[in-house]
Structure 1
Amino acid sequence: MLRKLGEVPVRVLIVEDNRDICDNIAAYLAKHSYVMDFAYDGISAMQLALTNPFDVIVLDLMLPGMDGLSFCQKLRTDAEITTPVLMLTARDTLDDKLKGFAAGADDYLVKPFALQELHARLQALYKRSHGRTDNLLAVADLTLNRATQQVHRAGQRIDLSAAGMRLLQRLMEQAPSVVARDELETLLWADEPPDGDALRSHLYKLRQVIDKPFNNPLIHTVHRIGYRLAEDAADMEDAK
């Protein structure tokens, strides 16, 4: 649970013109002791960002007054504010994501999204911006040390190929969130994925060493979307 760092409450600016989504986010994050401010258009959001110290900004892409891309660009170039920005959007193509990152976004979350995923991504951005990094990733009895690139499950050492290590690390970093197929393909092959279903082959090999020798599978396929790594395949609470 992300409550405090150095006894200072974590303050988040939510910029979203859909009041229902704002209400859902507020109800969920309140359980984790965030301090939240809300703006429903880009101009009001900019005024708040210029006059208040926020730890993280959650920014919708489509906004009245000033869209999210313009807001992010002005925040970075004109105001020189480096507060981490998590961009929300219904656009899920690689080109859209690249535009968001080029504008200055630090992370990207596609609607509809799980509130647990929003919370996890806020945690990661907050820790990163305050210089806190954790080399050890852990999901259930599976661990990966990013510094040593060593993987263990139930105390047993697991050796992986370079591709398998990259896939597992990305899945663990975003667990229990879904990682899209195109994101994993870009991770392995940039803009030139091979013909055929090479990604599925790599995931099959990864499952053979991560899941098959153990009772509880951790790698789950999300039909037509991608893969997620979690202790179970139960549905997550969604924000739509």
Structure 2
Amino acid sequence: MSARVLIADDDAVVRDIVRRYLERDGLEVRVAGDGNEALRVLGTERIDVAVLDVMMPGPNGLSLCRTLRHGGDYTVPVILLTALGEEDDRIAGLEAGADDYLTKPFSPRELALRVRSVLRRAPAAPSTVPLEITVGALTVSTASRLVTVTGEAVGLTNREFDLLLFFLTHTDTVFSREELLKRVWNWDFGDLSTVTVHVKRLRSKLGDHHRVQTVWGRGYLWRGEAGSGDRGDG
């Protein structure tokens, strides 16, 4: 079964060009001209990746992303399209729960590559990853992609889950943001703030049960043993 992608943008030209590129890659495509139509599609069809325009009418892409992430019940990967290139705007999108973003004008080919990257969610070989990982009160089911803390479910986006699983299977090893971008996101290049924001969100959602330590000037590591480490957002 082909992966199905939703393109939600109020620009018909953008929708048509992107649709043709994605269909050329063998993907199924659904389109929406505004946020309300996008919500209808998301509520009635299986969607594997949602590409949302930040500036479209109705619930805009940023608002729609926050709605999808509220409570963690809808885990479809989200790529935001934005005409705003400032770092604060990009970070706002990532903090809303987006897995990725592209700034307009963008290359349709690059978007197709980003969609493919988001669809690949296998940071480690299945044979090397336990079906369940428990660290203190934190439990991760790798098969169902379910995370609980003291028995309560924690809603993570797909990228946040991938990052957590990577850390748990590579404990006590420092990884730079460049290395994490390549090994978790499968990107050879990209905005390093993507990693920074996802680490911050992961720390926030896991609270005192995270073991992500900042190694200043080098990157991040997950401590294999609980201890008094840095819990900052850097």
Is the 2:91–2:193 contact (alpha carbons within 8 Å) kept by the matching residues of 1? Answer: no
Shift of 1:99: 1.1
Give the structure-2-normalised TM-score.
Answer: 0.55
Q: CA deviation at 1:53?
A: 1.0
Equivalent position to 1:37, from 20, 27, 30? 30
User: SS of 2:6's equivalent?
Assistant: strand
Partner residue in 2 for 1:12: 5
Tell me how far apart the structure 2 counterparts of residues 79 and 183 of structure 1 sit (CA, whole Å).
22
Please name the residue that 2:69 is paired with.
76
Task: Return the alpha-carbon distance in structure 2 between the equivalents of residues 113 and 171 of structure 1.
Answer: 21
SS of alignment partner, residue 57 of structure 1? strand
Residue 174 of structure 1 and its aligned partner are, at CA, apart by: 3.0
TM-fit CA distance, 1:78: 6.3
Q: Distance in 1 between matches of 2:37 and 2:180?
A: 38
2-structure distance, mates of 1:170, 1:74: 26
Structure 2: gaps (5+ residues):
126-165, 201-234
Larger CA Rg, structure 1 vs 2:
1
**Alignment-derived partner of residue 121 in structure 1:** 114
Alpha-carbon contact 2:52-2:61 (below 8 Å) kept: yes
2:101 to 108, 119, 122: 108
**Cα distance, 1:93 vs structure 2:** 1.5
Provide the C-alpha distance between the structure 1 equivalents of 2:74 and 2:30, rounded to a whole number of angstroms: 17
Whether 2:187 is the aligned partner of 1:174: answer yes
Give secondary structure in 2 for the equivalent of 1:105: coil
- Contact 1:14–1:59 (CA<8 Å) still a contact in 2? yes
Q: In structure 2, what residue type is equivalent to 1:50?
A: G
CA distance in 2, matches of 1:21, 1:71: 19
Is the partner of 2:76 in helix, strand or coil?
Answer: coil
Partner of 2:51: 58
Match of 2:215 in 1: none
Separation (CA, whole Å) in 2 of partners of 1:100 and 1:48: 21
* TM-score after normalising by structure 1: 0.54
| 2:206 aligned partner | none
SS at match of 2:50: strand
Unpaired runs of 5+ in structure 1?
1-7, 136-145, 150-161, 191-240
Q: Which amino acid in structure 1 is aligned with residue 123 of structure 2?
A: T
CA 95–41 in structure 1, closer or farther in 2 if over 3 Å, else same:
same
8 Å CA contact 1:46–1:75 kept in 2: the answer is no
Superposed displacement of residue 80, structure 1: 2.3
Q: 1:89 and 1:66 mapped to 2: Cα distance?
A: 14
Name which of 120, 123, 126 aligns with 1:133. Answer: 123
The equivalent residue for 1:215 is none
Task: Give the counterpart letter for 2:86 in structure 1.
Answer: T
Q: CA deviation at 1:90?
A: 1.1
Query: Secondary structure of the residue that 1:174 maps to in structure 2?
Result: coil
Structure with higher strand content: 1
